[in-house]
Amino acid sequence: MTKFKKIEDSRVVISELMLPSHSNFNGKIHGGYILSLLDQIAFACASKHSGTYCVTASVDTVDFLKPIEIGELVTMKASVNYTGNSSMVIGIRVEAENIQTGQKKHCNSSYFTMVAKDKEGKSMQIPGLILETEDDIRRFAKSIKRNKMKFKNKKEFNDTDFASEEYLHILEEHKVKIERTD
């Protein structure tokens, strides 16, 4: 197995014209359809890097920044931002282009953690990354920070006691009405 691979060797770009069948009741492209495309390109990018089957371990961020319209050309660009022993963070940028005017808009940036699996379904070692540019280094470093923050937030959340008496003052600041039945 190759010990290290260049980021460009695993980069994947897909484009698809958004059709009426992809829209929601408001006439915009359904977020679920975009999520499905994101998962597909993350799988392709991770499998290309690892040379094996990969599964989605987590979706760290999906921020829908701007709506996508019917008739726009959506382009998704995926690359490996980070590698661990068997896991990879795949960064994906989503742009929509009005094909009549040529105007482009950034609609989404997402981060998928993918894990390489062998034929028995066990996690397997993957190649590391060769970082060639400042952007490569920045993306790798941001992935390390994002992973640390995710671990810290998960630990803090799991260690917190959410007894209602301790949180009543917080609940009062929100649009909620408490009617106890117990």
**Separation of CA 136 from chain center:** 17
pLDDT at 8 over 70: yes
Q: Tell how far CA 181 is from the center of its chain.
A: 40
pLDDT in tens, 71-104: 999 999 999 999 999 999 999 999 999 999 999 9
Q: Is 146 exposed, middle or buried (0-12, 13-18, 19+ CB in 10 A)?
A: middle
Residue 2 confidence class, pLDDT cut points 50, 70, 90? low
Q: Residue 14 in contact with residue 25, Cβ under 8 Å? A: no
Give me the residue spans of the domains in the chain.
Answer: 4-130
Measured CA distances, 88 to 26, 75, 108, 154 (Å) = 35, 22, 19, 19
- In one-letter notation, the amino acid at residue 10 is S
The span from the CA of 43 to the CA of 115, in Å, is: 9
Do 72 and 18 form a contact (C-beta atoms < 8 A)? yes
Q: What is the pLDDT of residues 108-138, one digit of tens each?
A: 999 999 999 999 999 999 999 999 999 999 9
Contact 11, 78 (CB under 8 A): yes
Q: What is the DSSP letter of 3?
A: S
> Which fold would CATH assign to domain 4-130?
Thiol Ester Dehydrase; Chain A (3.10.129)
